[in-house]
Each structure stands twice: as structure tokens, then as C-alpha cells.
Structure 1
């Protein structure tokens, strides 16, 4: 083989899953990585299982609220439920921090939100046009600020949810 020959193809038989990962675990991991509606047949291929097994496990994950299903499309398509991931993050925060710490964090985040609202003259970061400036650096700075602002809003939602969970023994409303 000369230095100009194409690189050999990767070994397609290489295992992507750890030994002992069952079919449900593989489908679950693939489903959490799916951000757009994806046919169950494609999920099966990635999860290294049969389409029937993937569909069965995806239906179970749908019932659990982990994925959303579009059963009207052919073949049926599935995507992760972002709300489930937010709840999982909030639950972790509620377990790790005391209620007072969560409240303090929300207060600091709300201060940052107010600073962005004053800076841009709106309460909605999607209403900000970052390209109104002529300077490249200014456009980049505005893009970074708007992105950070959106992260602050997401964190406020997460920490507020975590506060509710922490104050109500893991429930959203008092039991």
C-alpha cells in the first residue's frame, strides 16, 4: 500500500455497545440522542436490534414520557422528550442542593435576566436582532449575549422546577 492509497474502511463489525447492554438499554440510549423525529427502523439499526424490538421498546419509552411518538407517519417516528430531560436535570438539582441554595441561585439568575432585558430593551431574547450592528465583533458579542440570556431563562425554569421538587418531597405539587 502506498501513501496515496485510500485509508482502509473501518471494521464495521466493531461493537458500539458495551458487553451486557440489553436491547432496551440500547434503544433507550439511542432515543435520548434523537433530536428530530426518526423512523423506528433507523433507531433499530443504530441500537443494533430488530425493528420489531425497537418499536416495542420505543412504545414503552413513549408510555414512560421519555420519548414522543408520531404514529401517523410511516414508518412511525420517535424523538426524545425534552421535558423529560429537563425534569431529570431538575430532579438532580433538587437532590444535590438545599432549598435555600436553589432559591439563591434563582435570585441571581433573575438578576442576570433583568440585566439582559435592560440591555436589549425587551423581555424576549428571540426579538433581538444580532445583525443590526456593522462591526463583526459587536455582532459576535450580541450573539453570545443572546445565547447566554436564553441559557439563563432555561436555568431559571430548571431551578424553579427543582425548588418545587425539593419543597414537595419530589412532587411538583404538595402531596
Structure 2
């Protein structure tokens, strides 16, 4: 599993006990799976969600049908991981509800200008093609790594805001109804 764990582990302040008391089993499985970035056996997810393996598998299968998680049935035991596309869709929906179409268009223009600046700086349109270790100075390497990471985030944000624009312009649909 990843280093991120949505299930509270530190019980010094009772956070895990409150989470257990205030959250039903489905929601605990949902919380746990959203924190998982690598395929994970359903038994491990059950341990984190504090439920039986069969219950976790039932809820995970339901979440897979809903498109929230990927299910790898070829592995034994079956492994699950969150679907990042689902999270992107949720984020685009949030943006579409919070901003006007004009605000979204302005944000995309700003993001595209940032992307263009990175492309000019690194003389490529693909951040993955940038070699960050071309320089000898540790600070320069770190700065290049940060710039490439920001460039990748900018590219992702353009995609999200464009999706949000489509949703906002089409009353929550990708294409006009």
C-alpha cells in the first residue's frame, strides 16, 4: 500500500475510534481505497477498514462496478486500487459547480501560458523528456525537478479545467444534450 493512509491510525486522540463509530463499513472501505495507489489485496483493505475480508470484497466489487476502483481479477487474491480517472471526474465536477464558464476559460488561458513558458524553457512539449540531472549543482537539479513537477501538474490542471468547462457549458454533460 502507499504511504498515504486515510484510515486514522494514531489513537492518542481517539480519531480512529471516532472514525469507526461514526462511519459505516461501506464508507470505511471507500475511505481506505481512496488512499491506495497500488493494487492491494482485499484482505489488507479489510484490515485497514476494520471489517471482514468478505465484506470488504463485496463493497470493493460494488465500487468497481461504479468505476471508483480498478479490480485485478487475474491476481490471487483479487487486488484493488483507486481509479484516478474517477477522482479527476469528481474534481472537474467540483470546479464546474464552483466557477463560471468565463472563470474556467480564464483559468485555462493562464494555465496554457504557464505550459507554454515551460515548453520554451525546456525546448520540448513533453515534460517526461526533460533530463533533470543535466546540471551538476544540487540546487539546480532540485529546481529542475520542481519545475518539471509543476509543469506536469499544469498539464493535468488544463485537462481538468477543460473537462470542467465542458460540464459547465452542457449542464453537467460532456456533450450537449
Map residues 57-96 of structure 1 onto 2, 5 A cutoff.
57-96=59-98
The alpha carbon displacement at 1:141 in A equals 1.2
* Secondary structure at 2:86 match in 1: helix
Superposition deviation, residue 15 in structure 1: 2.6
Aligned mates of 2:18, 2:79 — CA distance in 1? 23
Following the alignment from structure 1 to structure 2, what is the Cα–Cα distance between the partners of residues 139 and 103?
34
Normalised to the residue count of structure 2, the TM-score between the two structures is: 0.90
**Secondary structure of the structure 1 residue equivalent to 2:19:** coil
Match of 2:151 in 1: 149
Q: TM-score, normalised by structure 1?
A: 0.91
Matching residue within 112, 115, 118 for 1:113 = 115
Indicate the SS of the match to 2:104: helix
Counterpart-to-counterpart distance in 1, 2:62 and 2:20: 22
Aligned residue in 2 for 1:162: 164
Q: Return the alpha-carbon distance in structure 1 between the equivalents of residues 29 and 20 of structure 2.
A: 13
* Paired residue total: 166
How far the C-alpha of 1:124 sits from its partner, in A, is: 0.3
Q: 1:51 aligns with which of 50, 53, 64?
A: 53
Match of 2:33 among 31, 34, 37: 31
Structure 1: stretches of 5+ with no match in the other structure: 1-9
- Give unmatched runs, 5+ long, in structure 2: 1-9
Name the Cα RMSD after superposition. Answer: 1.7
Report the Cα offset of residue 17 of structure 1: 2.0
**2:20, 2:41 → 1: CA distance?**
24
Structure 1 residue runs of 4 or more that deviate by more than 6 Å after TM superposition? none
Residue 121 of structure 1 deviates from its aligned partner by 0.5
Separation in structure 2 between the aligned mates of residue 137 and residue 49 of structure 1, nearest angstrom: 47
Structure showing greater radius of gyration is: 1
